[in-house]
A and B are shown apart, each in its own frame.
Chain A
Amino acid sequence: MMVALALIALATIAYFTARSRSVALAGGDASTLHSRPVYHGFYAFFWVLLPALAIWLVASRIADWYISSSLSERFSAVIESLSGPQAGAFINDAMTLASGGRIGFPDDDKIAAGEFVAGLQSAAFWLVAALVIGVALAGFFYAYSRIEPRKRTRQAVERVVRYALIACSVVAVLTTIGIVFSLIFESVRFFGRVSVFDFLFGYHWSPQSAFEGAGASTADDNSRVFGAIPLFAGTLLITFIAMCVAAPIGLMAAIYLSDYASAGFRKIAKPVLEILAGVPTVVYGFFAALTVAPAIRGWGEVIGLTVSSESALAAGLVMGIMIIPFVSSLSDDVINAVPQSLRDGSAGLGATKSETIRKVVLPAALPGIVSALLLAVSRAIGETMIVVMAAGLAANLTINPLEAVTTVTVQIVTLLVGDQEFDSAKTLAAFALGLVLFIITLALNVVALRVVQKYKEQYD
């Protein structure tokens, strides 16, 4: 911490000295410099900061490695007397003691080991700190000595900025790829225990009754309880109900906003709709579980239907309300992109406003609207909170919207919540479900974006 502060202070000092130095070198007239003084400042700043940071990373790694290896060497007798997990615990406890923490079962060996580690660590700290500050100072003097009026400092600084930006985007891309690969990797492990076919086409889902352990019989049993069809059916049912609500209402709202509403109303209504999109889904979840589901149940009783207290209908309705603003704001953009000249042309032929919209505007906007709907579908499929709260956990294979169903996302949550061994078939099943879900929404998004792109070319 101290080292970091010192580094930043040093870099800042370097920035200001280098800046004034460059001006002084130019004889007070900054315009004769090739690069503006700011660039000289940043040049020094980077020379102080970057090599020192790199050294810090490497050196502290080496120090850590050295400490743990000398710990196991020094206390090899103790460690060898302990069994596998306990040996690991010994080293952990030593580290904890060294940093001033408390441990479960202290004994003399552990305390001695902790003191040993603490000594090494403080020595390593000073060594690393000295090294880092030294490198920083060296960078500072190097940069300072290289300040010349004609030097192309601007290019050097721009290059550093470019690499920094590249590094950030690489991080973003790599983490995404990493996540996808871990999904695939864990799914492959799952499919090693349960066959892909049984998983994708089985119609019985009760992972709670899965057996753990090895052997052909458990594999057979597991295959029977990991049938994902009910989950996908539940997801489809709820998504379908949600789209039945969101597609017409969202679309009509978009048409009203883009072609009928006055400018003033539009100015107010659009942000309001977008605020609706910002409501956390858990709030919709409350709404679904506490208001909508009981209401539906009440109505059902009035007309003599049995409605379970958690129903696909409640979850679907509320999810539909949730994606209305999503649909309407995307379609509004698409409808607005249809050129006014087409509307004029239609009106000039004597078409009324609604005829113009039905026969010219909507057909022209159709590809965009379809892609908006596809994006909404993928949003609905991935939604978790509302369904957890309102649709229930029962993996029923049904198309009756009044019964409780469950969805893929809900099951992922229940599989992973609570104490689970990381490599049980249950946990791994969550990854497999996640992978299938990912593939579905990815496909939907790709198709939607494709359609939008094709549509964009039309009017340019």
Chain B
Amino acid sequence: MNATTTQQTTPATTTIPSDPPVKMECRDLSVFYAEKQALNGVDLDIREKQVTALIGPSGCGKSTFLRCLNRMNDTVDIARVEGKVLLDGRDIYDPDVDVVELRADVGMVFQKPNPFPKSIYENVAYGPRIHGLARGKDEMDAIVEKSLKRAGLWKEVSDRLAEPGTGLSGGQQQRLCIARAIAVSPAVILMDEPCSALDPIATAIVEELIDELRQRYTIVIVTHSMQQAARVSQETAFFHLGNIVETGITDDIFTNPKDPRTESYISGRIG
């Protein structure tokens, strides 16, 4: 496998066959908050069924980038997005793309666990209900069970599905949010610092879960923890001041960074 960098203009088709195919491509992606530019025309390929980690100092645009991938920036009035984001070759910013369907395809898990103040069951069933994925209660039960199982939460909550989701522990809540995202069977799951509000044990459980989810889903994760990026991801992109400075195989980036900024960030000199 070869490392991709910002300078690389040739698309992924030229990479060697053993490479997983590209799921999402970002081309010259810029984001403005009112007058302020937060992303300066970045390019990134996200490969299918891989975990891509986005790292970089605070305020460098990681969350902004992540939110472009399922058009969550649409909900911010002052945000303006330029450039292209292709999902399976189709531009998601095309006027005739339905945001509702897009977000069913590209799910999102947030930094702070945010279960709805509803029962555990209803939390998971929320997405499928909106998208009309289940015909009848049996199908819905099946979706809820499958999603909770994939999120590794089934054993802990199977006998208390009617209890409020807000009553779970922080780590359980975050896995509930993952189950909620899985329930609409997305192809890509975006996670913005999913472990930053969790203790080390809950973090380890979620990390293990991410590693398992990779078999079915393409995952993009923002993290401030170098160890976490190293543990869960196969590819890493390093952001700095609204640019992607370096991207590539996670092991390469961590053992042999090409850019001096990447190197000093990884070794803890830029914060």
Which chain A residues have a beta carbon within 8 Å of chain B's beta carbons?
A: 262-263, 339, 341-352, 355, 359-360, 363-364, 458
> Which residues of chain B are within 8 angstroms of A345 by Cβ–Cβ distance?
110, 114-116, 177, 180
Q: Is A347's CB under 8 angstroms from B103's CB?
A: yes
The CA of A227 and the CA of B180, in the complex, are separated in Å by 59
Known: A355-B130, A458-B166. A348 touches B107 (CB 8 A): yes
Whole-angstrom CA separation of A387 from B117 in the bound complex: 41
Distance to closest chain A CB from B124 (angstroms): 10
In the complex, what's the smallest C-beta–C-beta distance from A419 to chain B, in angstroms? 59
Most chain B Cβ neighbours within 10 Å, of A345, A346, A355, A458? A345
Interface of A is mostly: helix
Closest chain-B Cβ to A336's Cβ sits at a distance in Å of 16
B127 CB within 8 Å of chain A: yes
Contact segment of B6-14, B48-56, B70-78: B70-78
CA distance A376 to B180 in the complex (A): 38
With A and B bound together, what is the CA distance between A254 and B77 in angstroms? 19
Known contacts being A352-B100, A355-B130, A359-B126, is A347 close to B75, with CB within 8 Å? yes
| Cβ contacts B100-115/A at 8 Å (1 or 0 each) | 1111100110101011
CB of A352 to closest CB in B, whole Å: 6
Question: Which residue on B lies nearest to A338, using beta carbons?
Answer: B117
The minimal Cβ–Cβ distance linking A88 to chain B, given in whole angstroms, is 68
Closest chain-B Cβ to A381's Cβ sits at a distance in Å of: 31
Q: How far is the CA of A348 from the CA of B111 in the complex (A)?
A: 13
> Nearest 10 A-B pairs (CB), nearest first?
A348-B108, A350-B103, A341-B114, A349-B127, A345-B114, A350-B104, A350-B100, A364-B117, A351-B130, A360-B116
Max chain B CB contacts within 10 Å: which of A341, A349, A351?
A349
Q: Which of B120-150 contact A (CB under 8 A)?
A: 126-127, 130-131
Is there a chain A Cβ closer than 8 Å to B81's Cβ?
A: no
Tell me how far the C-beta of B176 lies from the nearest C-beta in chain A, rounded to whole angstroms.
11
Whether A341 lies near B184 (C-beta < 8 A) is no
Chain B contact residues (Cβ within 8 angstroms of A): what range? 20 to 34
* Contacts known (A351-B130, A355-B130); A346 close to B116, Cβ less than 8 A: yes
Pick the most buried of B101, B114, B166: most chain A CB atoms within 10 A of its CB.
Answer: B114
- Given the known interface contacts A341-B112, A344-B114, the answer about A349 and B101 at a Cβ–Cβ threshold of 8 Å is no
- CB <8 Å contact, B184 and A346: no
* Additional pairs, 13, CB under 8 Å, beyond known A344-B75, A349-B181: A262-B77, A343-B75, A345-B110, A345-B115, A349-B184, A350-B102, A350-B184, A351-B127, A351-B130, A352-B100, A359-B130, A363-B117, A458-B166
In the complex, the answer to whether A341 meets B110 with C-beta atoms within 8 Å is yes
Report Cα–Cα, A360/B77, bound state, in Å: 21
CB contacts (< 8 Å) of B70 on chain A: these are 348
State whether A348 and B110 are in contact (beta carbons under 8 Å apart), knowing that A262-B77, A360-B116, A364-B116 are contacts in the complex. yes
How many whole Å from A180's CB to the nearest CB in chain B? 38
What is the minimal beta-carbon distance from A263 to any residue of chain B, in angstroms? 8
B74: nearest chain-A partner, CB-CB: A347
Q: Are B107 and A349 interface neighbours, CB within 8 A? A: yes
* Chain B: CB-nearest residue to A350: B103
Alpha-carbon distance between A181 and B200 when the two chains are bound, in angstroms = 60
How far, in whole Å, are A359 and B102 apart by their CA atoms in the complex?
20
- The answer to whether A349 and B126 touch across the interface, beta carbons within 8 angstroms, is yes
CB neighbours of A347 from chain B (8 A): 72, 75, 103
Distance from B202 Cβ to chain A, minimum over Cβ atoms (Å) = 18
Looking at the assembled complex, report how far the CB atom of B192 sits from the nearest CB atom of chain A, in whole angstroms: 10
Given the known interface contacts A262-B77, A348-B72, A350-B104, the answer about A363 and B118 at a Cβ–Cβ threshold of 8 Å is: yes
Q: List 8 A-B contacts (CB under 8 A).
A: A262-B77, A263-B77, A345-B110, A347-B103, A350-B131, A351-B126, A352-B100, A360-B126
Interface residues of B in 74-97 (CB under 8 A from A): 75, 77
Shortest Cβ gap from A93 to chain B (Å): 73
With a cutoff of 8 Å between Cβ atoms, the chain A residues found around residue B115 in the complex are 345
Q: Is the CB of A350 within 8 A of B101?
A: yes
Chain B nearest CB, measured from A335 CB (Å):
14
Residues of B within 8 A of A355 (CB): 130
Verify if B161 is at the interface (C-beta below 8 Å from A).
no
Q: Which of B70, B108, B116, B177 has the most CB of A within 10 A?
A: B116
B15 to chain A, nearest CB (A): 31
User: Which A residues lie within 8 Å of B75 (CB)?
Assistant: 343-344, 347
Q: How near does chain A come to B97, taking the closest CB pair, in angstroms? A: 12
Complex Cα distance A350/B114, Å? 15
B99 beta carbon closer than 8 Å to chain A:
yes
User: Given that A349-B130, A350-B101, A350-B131 are contacting pairs, would A342 and B118 also be in contact in the complex, using a CB cutoff of 8 Å?
Assistant: no
* With A344-B110, A349-B103: A458-B117 Cβ-Cβ less than 8 Å: yes
A-side contacts of B177, CB under 8 Å: 345
B50 to chain A, nearest CB (A): 21
Q: A339–B100 contact, CB under 8 A?
A: no
Which of A342, A352, A363 sits near B114, CB closer than 8 Å? A342
- Let me know if B126 and A348 touch, CB within 8 A: no
| Chain A residues whose C-beta falls within 8 Å of the C-beta of B110 in the assembled complex | 341, 344-345, 348
B103–A348 CB distance below 8 A: yes
Could you say which residues of chain A place their CB within 8 Å of the CB of B180? 345, 349
